[in-house]
Amino acid sequence: MQREDVESYFATRSGPAAKTSDRTLARLDTPRLDVGEVREELEKVKDKFEEQRRLLMDQHRKQFDKWMMQLLLVAMVHLFFVVVN
């Protein structure tokens, strides 16, 4: 994308002609929930991905030592080349 294109994009979408919505939460007919009520409602919702998330975390825990060893080996190789050069 050319610089002129970017500048043109923002130039056409800025300034006094930019429009905003007058639709706000204050205009809703339903009352706002406080934090406690929101938490209560959310606790009623079943997490349909709970099992998949647990399995993924288990896989990550099992692989962590392998990943850490690979990172350490890469760091040692880089350190070796820094010391040698």
Output b/e per residue, 48-64; b: 16+ Cβ within 10 A. Answer: eeeeeeeeeeeeeeeee
Domain count, the chain: 1
27 lies in some domain: no
36 lies in some domain: no
Structural domain range at position 69: 50-85
DSSP helix/strand/coil, 14 = coil
Residuewise pLDDT in 10s, the chain (85 residues) = 577 777 777 777 776 655 667 777 777 777 788 899 999 999 999 999 999 999 999 999 999 999 999 999 999 999 999 998 8
62 lies in some domain: yes
59 lies in some domain: yes
29 lies in some domain: no
**Can you read off the two tokens belonging to residue 15?**
């300034």
DSSP 33: P
* pTM recorded for the entire structure: 0.44
Gap between the Cα atoms of 19 and 52, Å rounded: 43
**Can you read off the two tokens belonging to residue 82?**
């820094």
Q: Give the mean pLDDT of the chain.
A: 86
22 lies in some domain: no
42 lies in some domain: no
54 lies in some domain: yes
